[in-house]
Amino acid sequence: MSGQDSHVWVNHLSVHFGVGKGLLGGGSVLKAVDEVSLEIPRGSFFGLVGESGSGKTTLGRAILKAAPISAGEVRYRDEDVDFDIGMMSKAELKEYRRRAQLIFQDPYAALSPRMTVRDIIAEPLEVMKLTKSRAETDERVREIAAKCRLNLEHLRRFPHAFSGGQRQRISIARALVCEPKFLVADESVAALDVSIQADILNLLKSLQKDMDITFLFISHDLSVVAHTCDYVAVMYLGAIVEMAPSRELFTVPKHPYTKALLSAIPSLDPDDRGTAQKLEGEIPSPLNKPSGCRFHTRCPIAVERCAAEIPAWRELSTGHKVACHFAE
């Protein structure tokens, strides 16, 4: 079913990459995203968390049609359009590119050092021919720059003159200038210092309200996700293991992996040493996924059944879904 109020709807999506294929075929298939289903409600801040190698970035890219969709379906729907991302025509794709944008992780690498800030922000408008005159472009750039708290004198400068926080505000302005409805923010605060991180998170929140945007917020930092997102999905080895409204996920986590992730965050209390439930080992290679429940090799409560039987994706309470045999 596709809920009427969901903005992006992902149904059994898989993204596979061929690895080590030779002339004679062979090689193996890396299942970066493996039959993932989720719905991103309109106007929400949807968090996607997991360790490196969990497939969260690939999922985000597949939704933006920047990674190949091997199986399954992604639908995008707003007031004006309804797209099946896997089957778009060229014209539809062009339209989708305006409506769905990406903010990158590293504000140092994402901005061209040879362009002024004005040109960086204006480029999407010019490439997509969304404005009719230079004056109109300038007007739009000034408007969005002010929303992202950039000064007008900043627009004439080059990116090297800016600090990390300012650069990230420039990349946000660039992503927002064509007035997208859906934004994927991939580790957008991971490269920033703590004092700046809070500022960017607050800015994203206020822009979301102002401009009525739906966010897919990809992060490895659970405390950041807890503070910004309305819903959270936890990914492990290409699959979602738990999904719930943010408050619920962080107060009553059900999946042992979510619990372990939460307890691995170093506590600010110096006397709270070593009480955490630690995970053994490391995330297995996605080329060599464990049988049954893919988390069983590291799970503190795993039994024989977990190695044999894939746990069902169950709804425990409204909106709180989990894939674990023992979650109640």
6 binds other proteins (CB under 8 A): no
> What distances in angstroms separate CA 220 from CA 8, 36, 68, 151, one per listed residue?
22, 18, 23, 31
201 binds other proteins (CB under 8 A): yes
Classified as helix, coil or strand, 34 is strand
274 binds other proteins (CB under 8 A): yes
Residues 187 and 219 sit within 8 Å (Cβ to Cβ): yes
Where are the alpha helices (H) located in the chain, listed in sequence order?
Answer: 56-63, 90-99, 117-127, 134-147, 164-176, 194-211, 222-228, 246-251, 256-264, 304-308
Kindly state the smallest distance separating residue 92's Cβ from other proteins, in Å: 38
Please identify, among the stretches 6-14, 127-135, 270-278, 287-295, the one whose residues bind other proteins according to the rule CB under 8 A: 270-278
202 binds other proteins (CB under 8 A): yes
Q: Encode 247-265: b = buried (16+ Cβ within 10 Å), e = exposed.
A: ebbbeebbbbbbbbbbeee
Q: Which helix (H) or strand (E) holds 30?
A: strand 28-41
Number of residues that bind other proteins (CB under 8 A): 42
Q: How far apart are CA 216 and CA 198, in angstroms?
A: 18
Among 164, 245, 290, 319, binds other proteins (CB under 8 A): 164
Kindly state the smallest distance separating residue 180's Cβ from other proteins, in Å: 24
Among 79, 153, 269, 304, binds other proteins (CB under 8 A): 269
Among 4, 52, 133, 318, binds other proteins (CB under 8 A): 52
Residues 302 and 293 sit within 8 Å (Cβ to Cβ): yes
Between residues 64 and 200, which has the closer beta carbon with respect to other proteins?
A: 200
Q: How far apart are CA 207 and CA 211, in angstroms?
A: 6
Between residues 265 and 308, which has the closer beta carbon with respect to other proteins?
A: 265
120 binds other proteins (CB under 8 A): no
46 binds other proteins (CB under 8 A): no
Q: Which DSSP state fits 283?
A: P
Identify residue 130 by its one-letter amino acid code. L
Binding mask 227-266 for other proteins (x = CB under 8 A): x-------------------x--x---------xxx-xxx
195 binds other proteins (CB under 8 A): yes
113 binds other proteins (CB under 8 A): no
Query: Within its chain, how far is the Cα of 87 from the centroid?
Result: 22
Please identify, among the stretches 82-90, 190-198, 237-245, 315-323, the one whose residues bind other proteins according to the rule CB under 8 A: 190-198
222 binds other proteins (CB under 8 A): yes
Kindly state the smallest distance separating residue 278's Cβ from other proteins, in Å: 5
Q: How far apart are CA 198 and CA 260, in angstroms?
A: 25
Kindly state the smallest distance separating residue 45's Cβ from other proteins, in Å: 13
List of residues 6+ apart from 233 with CB closer than 8 A: 38, 46, 47, 48, 49, 240, 242, 243
- The residue whose two tokens read 């405390």 is 223
Kindly state the smallest distance separating residue 46's Cβ from other proteins, in Å: 17
275 binds other proteins (CB under 8 A): no
Cα–Cα–Cα angle for 202, 206, 211, rounded to 5 degrees: 145
Residue ranges that bind other proteins, judged by CB under 8 A: 51-52, 163-166, 193-199, 201-202, 220-224, 226-227, 247, 250, 260-262, 264-271, 273-274, 276, 278-279, 282-283
